[in-house]
């Protein structure tokens, strides 16, 4: 009876986890989040907590594979426990003798996979009904688990596009604004603002629905989505520092700010285990002055401290710092030219 209860509980927990993870937009289940976080932390520790480590680029694939294997193993074990609660639940198809535990384990596996080998069978009507129900559930849940990979990879592709779009405008926040400056305004930046906002909103929704995409990492900071979003946050701070006489598209600016705030709000409820940090850094606006951009003063305002703290925590949890965002802005800009 104990095995039967344990088997039913494990099946319900696993089925709930698969259903929530694959068929809802509320993020991963307990099993999924635990496996994802454990695998990421393992890779992160092996990589020496360095975002530029190539090893981290394999973390996402391993997370997806291990989540899928964990689901299958839990379903398999749950059916085995239910069958093992009765020593005579499974019989040999030829000799009609009761199956031992290994044979019962084998029977549970080919039942869930719907192979239907036939060398073992359920001993009575009750176990036959359970076997049929397990086969239907196994087919449905395992299919849902496998098809989960497709939208996850699509979400990963989108976050890569977002990071490339931002980095293509400039490698640092200062470079983005200098490249966008036409002598009177930042119309070149705001021409791309709508695309950036839309992709950031989609990335936020994808991250909420599929938190596992957090584990898909790029070892190049210019191609990694978290430094890219940190760069965008710094661009917004620099735009606040531009003199009021410079015309700006306030609607697009406001929409970008809202998209950034929604992203930060989503990250606060993330299951990936990061902590809010206030990493010391200084945003230098000297390059903007050299490019002839009118500024309010020499020192850039702190801006939204809470938002910056969340992004600082994300940078650190991904193995980066503000140095990868700012770098030596003057040297980079000179090299780009």
Give yes or no for a contact between 155 and 210, defined as CB atoms under 8 angstroms apart.
yes
Give yes or no for a contact between 329 and 284, defined as CB atoms under 8 angstroms apart.
yes
Q: What residue numbers bound the domain in which 331 lies?
A: 149-336
Point out the domain boundary residue: 122, 147, 172. 147
By percentage, how much of the chain surpasses pLDDT 90?
Answer: 56
Q: What is the pLDDT of residue 175?
A: 92
Of the listed ranges 121-125, 178-182, 189-193, 215-219, the least confidently predicted one is 121-125
The SS3 of residue 103 is helix
| Other Cβ atoms within 10 Å of 144 Cβ, number | 16
Give yes or no for a contact between 145 and 209, defined as CB atoms under 8 angstroms apart.
no
- pLDDT greater at residue 321 or residue 114: 321
- Pair (89, 233) in one structural domain: no
Question: Looking at the predicted structure, is the pLDDT value of residue 272 above 70?
Answer: no
Point out the domain boundary residue: 132, 147, 162. 147
Give yes or no for a contact between 146 and 68, defined as CB atoms under 8 angstroms apart.
yes
Report the chain's C-alpha Rg in angstroms.
26
Its pTM stands at 0.85
Among the listed residues 313, 329, 301, the one whose alpha carbon sits nearest the alpha carbon of residue 267: 313
- Pair (203, 267) in one structural domain: yes
**Tens digits of residue pLDDT in 145-202:** 888 999 999 999 999 999 999 999 998 999 999 999 998 999 999 999 999 999 999 9
Give yes or no for a contact between 178 and 236, defined as CB atoms under 8 angstroms apart.
no
Q: What is the pLDDT of residue 327?
A: 67
Q: Where are the alpha helices (DSSP H) in 85-186?
A: 101-112, 125-147, 149-169, 173-180
- Pair (288, 169) in one structural domain: yes
Residues in the chain: 337
- Pair (314, 165) in one structural domain: yes
């Amino acid at each position: 009876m104990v095995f039967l209860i344990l088997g039913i509980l494990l099946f319900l927990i696993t089925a709930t986890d698969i259903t929530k993870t694959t068929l809802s937009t509320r993020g991963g289940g307990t099993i999924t989040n635990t496996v994802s976080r454990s695998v990421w932390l393992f890779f992160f520790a092996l990589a020496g907590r360095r975002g530029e480590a190539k090893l981290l680029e394999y973390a996402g694939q391993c997370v997806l594979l291990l989540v899928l294997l964990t689901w299958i193993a839990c379903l398999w074990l749950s059916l085995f426990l239910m069958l093992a609660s009765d020593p005579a639940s499974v019989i040999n198809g030829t000799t009609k003798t009761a199956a031992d535990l290994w044979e019962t384990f084998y029977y549970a596996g080919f039942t869930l996979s719907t192979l239907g080998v036939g060398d073992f069978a359920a001993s009575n009507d009750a176990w036959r009904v359970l076997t049929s129900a397990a086969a239907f559930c196994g087919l449905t849940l395992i299919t849902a688990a496998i098809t989960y990979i497709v939208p996850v990879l699509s979400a990963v592709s989108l976050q890569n596009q977002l990071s490339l779009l931002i980095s293509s405008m400039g490698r640092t926040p200062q470079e983005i604004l200098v490249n966008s400056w036409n002598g009177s305004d930042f119309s070149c930046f705001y021409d791309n603002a709508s695309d950036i906002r839309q992709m950031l909103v989609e990335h936020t929704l994808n991250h909420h629905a599929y938190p596992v995409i957090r584990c898909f990492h790029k070892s190049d900071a210019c191609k990694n989505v978290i430094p890219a979003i940190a760069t965008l946050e710094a661009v917004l701070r620099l735009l606040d520092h531009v003199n009021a006489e410079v015309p700006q598209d306030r609607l697009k600016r406001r929409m970008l700010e809202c998209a950034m705030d929604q992203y930060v709000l989503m990250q606060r409820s993330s299951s990936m285990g990061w902590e809010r940090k206030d990493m010391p850094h200084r945003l230098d606006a000297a390059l903007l002055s050299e490019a002839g951009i009118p500024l309010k003063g020499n020192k850039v305002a702190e801006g939204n401290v809470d938002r910056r703290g969340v992004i600082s925590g994300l940078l650190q949890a991904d193995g980066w710092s503000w140095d990868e965002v700012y770098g030596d802005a003057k040297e980079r800009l000179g090299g780009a030219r």
